[in-house]
Amino acid sequence: METITSIKPVLAVSVSLVITVFIIASGKRPNLRESWTFVAGIIKFCIVASMVPVVLGGKEIVCNLVEIVPGVGLAFRVDSLGLLFALVSSSLWIVTSAYSIGYMRGLNEHSQTRYFCFFALALSATIGVAFSANLLTMYLFYEMLSFATYPLVTHHQDPEARASGRKYLLYIVGGSIGLVLPAMLICYQMTGTLEFAKHGFMAGTGSKALMTVLLIMMVFGFAKAAIMPLHSWLPAAMVAPTPVSALLHAVAVVKVGVFSVVRVLTGVFGINFLAGLHLGTVICYIAAFTIIVASLIALSQDGLKRRLAFSTIGQLSYIVLGVALLSPKGMIGGMTHIAMHAFGKITLFFCAGAIFVATGKKNISEMVGIGKRMPVTMIAFFIGSLSVIGLPPCGGFVSKWYLVLGTLQADQWPMLVVLLSSSLLNAAYFFPIVYKAFFCKEDESMFANKVQEAPGWCVGPLVLTAICSVILFFYPQPFFRLATMAVTSMLGGVHP
């Protein structure tokens, strides 16, 4: 594949790093401070979007900065998979920034300058992971994201927030240092490189036992993917403000985790190598266990954000499962689900935050009849639910359709049962919320019928992301095309 050397990946990463200086300097002027956030978000998105025609044209963009150890340096490569993820995160950062204004000001939150500063740092790290050319670069930006999001998780600075922050670092940093780092060192010792390869730079090296151990270490070590049992940091992190939860679940943190796992499966080991060792099936069953158990736990949660958190844990493993099927359609479905889930789930979290800003309610049992007071918010919640469940007319249907086709293509009937069962469970924990919001009896409603939505800065973004979820059903581009190109490249140019 033809490569083009360009500084664009570096600019995409650094723009939100640079803007933090302006955010801090404008701390006492909120309007200016948040204007800088939008400026950075728009510039970042434009840089990322400018690379789409190049990548869709069959080329890759590279930029090598500095060699850190012999054969491995800080380097960037923009391919179709990385660009897919970068497009999702850079576009939703703009929307989340707008939502943050309504939420943080609506609740008169403290330390808003610090919040927007670390928010920008988190997006720099996210784009860095997306465009990493090798395992070392990805690892460095992965760790940067961990420390950039810690102040966001502990934003409220109360005992509960600090305890959740400690658990967050224990799982996230502990997993990467304790598992990923030694596995990475072993890989480098065996191959002399950490450069992602289309067929995996570890392909053909080592025994099956060693490859199995290294694969498990990396899959669980990237704990941001929230694969059970290394998942409990995620519900604990729900003490953070809702825009942070949206960032965690849709834009950055968990998507970085699952993206890193996908890179390991495809760029470190390679799909043909995994298929030859039958290791894809091992990862499938790990992901399937997480999907079913997380969905069952979500059914029992009364806190809306906690229910959404366990839903996210299950949905992330859809992506891992799709790629681990090692079938072309399954991999396309898994990669496309990165985008489809992002738009659906961020809508749901925006709705949860809008409800809290307008009513102060956090628990589902306290939201009976809320659809009559906040109809726009709850209609958007319904649309987001449809997307996450995988029902038309929302984008989640497209990715789950290909996931189902992938199980048939791989002759993995147990995984087909898992996907269909989990979709039913998704409906079981989302639809009752919507039903009770709109169709409760008058004496059951906990709200007056007077319409009183959250501030416009909260409602506007959730309406926009809900509309995008519907548009992605009819026009899933460029995400679907980028996913197809990524899989085609991994198959050696054979169209799936």
Give the pLDDT of residue 1. 67
111-to-151, 155, 175 alpha-carbon distances in Å: 11, 8, 30
Would you give per-residue pLDDT tens digits along the chain (496 residues)? 688 999 999 999 999 899 989 888 887 888 888 888 888 889 999 999 999 999 999 899 999 988 888 888 899 999 999 999 999 999 988 888 887 777 777 666 667 788 888 888 888 999 999 999 999 999 999 999 988 888 888 877 778 778 888 888 888 889 899 999 999 999 999 988 999 988 888 888 878 899 999 999 999 999 888 898 888 887 777 766 666 666 666 667 888 999 999 999 999 998 989 888 899 999 999 999 999 999 999 999 888 888 998 998 899 999 999 999 999 999 999 999 999 999 999 999 889 888 888 888 888 988 888 888 889 999 999 999 999 999 999 999 999 999 999 999 999 999 999 999 999 999 999 999 999 888 877 767 777 677 688 888 888 989 999 999 999 999 998 999 999 999 988 876 555 6
Give the pLDDT of residue 138. 94
Q: Is 455 helix (H, G, I), strand (E, B) or coil?
A: coil
266-275 per-position pLDDT tens digit: 999 989 898 8
CA 314/CA 307 separation, integer angstroms = 11
- Neighbouring CB atoms inside 10 A of 448's CB total 10
Cβ contact 119:38 at 8 Å: no
**349: closest CA among 362, 360, 339?**
362
Give the pLDDT of residue 250. 65
**77: closest CA among 58, 61, 66, 89?**
61
Supply the pTM of this predicted model: 0.93
**DSSP count for the chain of H helices, then E strands:** 21, 3
Location of structure tokens 């610090």: 114
CA 350/CA 308 separation, integer angstroms = 11
413-to-108, 275, 364, 407, 418 alpha-carbon distances in Å: 52, 17, 35, 6, 9
For the chain, the C-alpha Rg in angstroms (whole number) is: 21
Where on the phi/psi map is residue 78: left (φ > 0), alpha (ψ -120 to 50), or beta? beta
